[in-house]
Chains A and B, each alone.
Chain A
Amino acid sequence: MMRLPLTSALALCVSACIAPSVVDPADRARLVDPADRTWAAAGTDDVPGVYVSTHLTGAVSNVLLKVVYLFEADGNYTGAALVDTAPPHFEVISGAWRMVGEKLVLDAADPAGVEIADDRSLRITGDQGQVVLRRELSQ
């Protein structure tokens, strides 16, 4: 006879200790929004490094699956893009980069806006879209 009240009390205690953990429908998406970060205009010293894309938007996202860059301090760069063709393939380029004002210019490509986040990620914005590049360690 004493068992029921005891278990009820135990259940109530456990219930009070364990908070509900239902995923809100608005949080079901698994995507980091780069807009959540704080971005500021990048300078020449901010660019050198190894980067891997984490977010592609705009027209370039139709055909690009991944982008990797190495920007060297001496003004040279190399990059590889995983292009969504059938089958997918890598396009590898190299050349010279420079800053023109607050714009990043890769060889003869159109100048693109470049910003840096507090985690030193780069965001490059051009007329065909935007790419967020996470800074990686050279290995």
Chain B
Amino acid sequence: MMSKPFQILGALALLAWTGVGAFMWMEVKNHLTVTIEETSDGQSDEAALLADRMAALSDDLDSLIAALDGNFALVGQAIGQGATDQAVRSAVIEQRLEQLEAALPDALQARETASALRVSLAQVETILRLANEQAAVQTNAALVLHEGDSRIEPDDAALTDIPAPADPLEEPPAVAEATEPAAPAATKTSFLAFKLPSRDFQFDGEQTFEILGDLSRVGFDAKSTLHDFSGVSNLVSGNFRVDLAHPDRGLSGSVSVKTKSLSTDLEGRDEAMLEHLGAEEHPTLQFVFESFAASSVDAEARTLAGTVTGQMTINGTTKTLEMKITAHVDESRRLVVEGEAPLSRADYNVHVPGKLGLISTDDEVRIWIHLRSRAKAEKAR
């Protein structure tokens, strides 16, 4: 019963609210004026700014163009100057070329002359080098006549930097090869501080050996009724020439002993011996080498053996004597020659009369040699 009035009241209230709303809308509409103006101020500012920038850019371009014009002018000027200079240089070069062309024949002539001088100089250097080499290996000068099989001991390598001697039978070296500077004769500072020429002992090749008297002895062994004894001499001298590797090819030289230097270490016996040897009339005992018959030659071991034949002179009497010898090279690079041979005193008219009818000396004695010799340095040939 009560809802109906409330429904009506609600409808009325709704209508009233709508009416008030419509009224307020109208009132607002009457009092509100909306003005729409076209305001373009921001766009104008941007345009003005753009215009300013364009103007500045234009000014910059003008300045740049002006500057470029100036620079281009300078570059052009420089190019022009460079071209001028180049032209001058070209003219100078052309002038010099003309001068060179004019001088070319003379230069060619001078070059030919210089070449000829170089060739001559190289020949002189070659000759000097060969001479130095031969001088440095003088004890081997004869070696070049034979096929060489010389060797160098490893411990001698430091002193053997001289090239092998040239074979004189070969053609002289070509001029073109001789244009290289010739090496000077090799010398090396030894541990003893001396600068020494390089040379090694050569077994192969003809060379002269000088007997070292201070290191050599010769003597004889004799038998007598009383006892056996030896006579010895330290005064030995002489030399001989031989190719140790080919001793059969020839041996020459001699060994001499001062007769009065012989000693048997017994004064009275020495006096008698020297009297029988005719020491006053024949002060020298001598053996002259004539030939050598080798029984063995070992170039690697540096040894040889064989029989020497020569003329022995004792007491003024000369007889042919053969002596078996051996030879080797010692640690001091000396050639050591040892040998002995039987000898009849009667062959040399050395007669030793017996004493008391019982004391006598055998006719045969054994003579012996122990020689040390060194290869002599020889001048280049």
Chain A residues with CB under 8 Å of chain B are 4, 7-8, 10-11, 14-15, 18-23, 25, 28-31, 55-64, 67, 79, 81, 83-86, 88, 91, 93, 95, 106-112, 124, 126-128, 131
CB distance from B75 to the nearest CB of A (A): 66
- CB contacts under 8 Å to A, within B185-203, are 189-201
Cα A11 to Cα B359 with chains together (Å): 7
Q: How far is the CA of A88 from the CA of B378 in the complex (A)?
A: 10
Distance in Å from the Cβ of A60 to the closest Cβ of chain B? 6
CB distance from B20 to the nearest CB of A (A): 131
Residue in A closest to B217 when the chains form the complex, CB atoms: A30
Residue contacts A-B, CB under 8 angstroms, 14 given: A19-B227, A21-B227, A29-B370, A31-B372, A60-B190, A63-B377, A67-B194, A83-B194, A83-B197, A84-B374, A88-B377, A91-B195, A124-B191, A128-B159
Q: Closest Cβ of chain A: how far from B34's Cβ, in Å? A: 117
Which residues of B sit under 8 angstroms from A22, Cβ to Cβ? 221, 228-230
Q: Which of B177-224 contact A (CB under 8 A)?
A: 189-201, 214-217, 219, 221
Q: A30-B234, A57-B331, A62-B333 are in contact. Are A7 and B356 (CB under 8 A)?
A: yes
Complex interface: chain A residues within 8 A of B368 (CB): 25, 28
Would A11 and B234 count as touching, CB distance under 8 A?
A: no
The answer to the question of B358 belonging to the interface, with a C-beta cut-off of 8 Å to chain A, is yes
Interface flag for B2 (CB, 8 Å): no
Name the residue of chain A whose CB is nearest to the CB of B356. Answer: A7
Q: Are B225 and A15 in contact (CB under 8 A)?
A: yes
Residues of A within 8 A of B216 (CB): 30
Describe A's contact surface by its main secondary structure. mixed
Residues of B contacting A8 in the complex (Cβ-Cβ under 8 angstroms): 358
CA–CA, A106 to B194, complex, Å?
10
A124: chain B residues within 8 A (beta carbon)? 191-192
Q: What residues of B have a CB within 8 angstroms of the CB of A131 in the complex?
A: 192
Contact B221 A23 (CB under 8 A): yes
Q: How far is the CA of A107 from the CA of B357 in the complex (A)?
A: 72
Q: Most chain-A Cβ atoms within 10 A of its Cβ — which of B153, B219, B356?
A: B356
- The reply to whether B192 and A79 form a contact with Cβ atoms under 8 Å apart is yes
